[in-house]
A and B are shown apart, each in its own frame.
Chain A
């Protein structure tokens, strides 16, 4: 898409483009592409549009590729077994077992689709899929994103690349599409749809990463930094119910380069050790499953060592057969290629020297942990007409690639069913004009405006969240007083967004990204404040309530009161559907 040569000089100079369709998909990632393919299978006459902030061939979390599909049900195991494992990975829940089960029943077919479309899945000499853990299989997924995107295009979806979503289009309480702007062409886009599937990425950059102070390392983080939580923010602003936002994803990552560690510790069985050479998981977490302890325990364990003065911590790769080490490097090249470059820039051979590990900055993701929209079985949110899939849909952790793909299909089926007999209303002109003015205002402040840059506010937000809402520098701990402080200052940040000024369209995108991050951060802090216990160390640690409290064995929910603007929190009960010991896989 060609770039706009000059910034618009007035709001009137901004062209408005209206696109009518049956189903709008916000975000052409994993879930979004699968939704588009499913639409063509279900009813080729459906008019499907994908609104994508980047270019769908290499966008978002999958842009660098993937080295594994973390959930594929092997022969002899059932979807119920997968749900039991999923539940145990989050300390026995509470999770939405109804959602988890329906995804589990679909996900193998989605992975098989990927293979049919050209994704190499590694197999042994007998042609059997090679597992590297109980549920995860190795792939050569460098081309994963282009493969998915090609199929979405082939399915006939109309793709609008480089259009950033800023708001939902509403018709009373019902969602009838979305609004946004072209980050290259500077146009204002009105997508008018009978149903909308929110399939954006999760939220990165709410917290400061510990390498952010180093020049050129602001985005040395694990989750795609261009996924900022817009999908959540647009729903939060319309009063959608959000679930489990306090269950943050924190992962053990390679230190100074936020690369995946499960690849080494689980896939290549390199044990986690501390500075004294002690096998941490075996020595301190044997009662929780040692090296197979739930993910949040494994994420938190190295940080506890640092805090106790026993850091650095490592994955002990020493003595690994060189051929195996090369295979491990190949895995990295499939997913985070520059980690191989990072090791080379340290002159490090992992066979001789262990790989240092540390905790990541926290993320809000519905594909790994369970933060996101409260959805029904059709994946409709509490806003009629708005569906959610993948990272945005909450309640169902450990979806990963296969589960997000499956959910994209389920959401599409839900949306297709919902639109039967529905007419497309004429979009509300006043709403469109108001949003257009809000979106472009930071670009039209005029010369001499004494304002703020997006980067300044982003860094203020990230430091605030890091220090007061349980970031890496605080070893993920927070308490009531710190959260109150964070909420007070988040309100001040929101008030100050009127001073944000943009220099060009790229910068305008950054301005709206920081506004979205503030809205997600506020909800996150309310959730952390509500859960007065520590249920998932690292993911959710309350220094003032260090134990699990049975009173909070429930889903924590929130929604914006549209009359007062306040975030209100409440609970929903946990329902165990799959029998068995909740705490065991």
Chain B
């Protein structure tokens, strides 16, 4: 991952870059290496001084060596938080990892060992490089600009060299910002938690989706067993009442209207329930559910979904919503006359394809629908591939790992 702020600013037009705070932030970021350098130099000097003073005594060398190691360890422990802190100077903050236990525990984790190693490199080498690049980049234009101050400089040099220096100054700032960008990128790459360390987060997201799905089912059942039954009973009562009323009477008309309303409410409710959770999916599995959606689609859909058995529930639900969304998009946007859904499981991977011969130009960035699908798929480690050139045809392919069927 790049330290975006610094890199992006370099990509801007030079004038905008130079008038922005970016060069100064980069300079302050590299300049912070003075602190590291000062600490290192003072510590090394002190240790050497102690060493020289005590070398002749019996415990001297051992004492100096342990003092040196302790000092190095202290600096290494402090260096990583410092590196993390100074990323803010360049506008690329990195959250500190959650500490679990003390230094020993940290060193047992890969992230902790990485952090320690990077701290050592930073103490031994990187601060030199930072200061070296910043100094060289600034000192050369500085010297050129100060040429007229040299008593021995001939007139032409006193005129030309400062001009060259002024031209080189922005170049120096670019160089500084570029190195600061590289340096920050490196720091982030080493100090960010790795993907494997993020698994727990993904798992909790999956649990959240599961909980959401369970809740949807509960709502669906409640609507079926509660509201829908009551409305059917109401509708039946109204129907019976209208039988006993004299036809054409005002009361009969009112009851008939009420009956119509109850009927419309039932029909709305039925659609609502289907949207909350597709019953056919739970009971008959993905192929039947896909046929069911295809049957409702305003344009003809050729369904070819063949699976050996039931898939894990999460996979079925996600695949179902993918097909729903895809067919809705085809009907709404593509202008296609026909489309096809194909689904197969091979090598533990469910591959679903929705293909249409419409106008193409589907853009995942444009709407929330496709983005939502990508998010849902991410929970299951699935991925979405889309080919939709302007003028068509469009092919949406979704792959979801499904290790073992339930």
- To the question of whether A and B form a pair in one complex, the answer is no
Which residues of A are in contact with B by a Cβ distance under 8 Å? none
Which residues of B are in contact with A by a Cβ distance under 8 Å? none
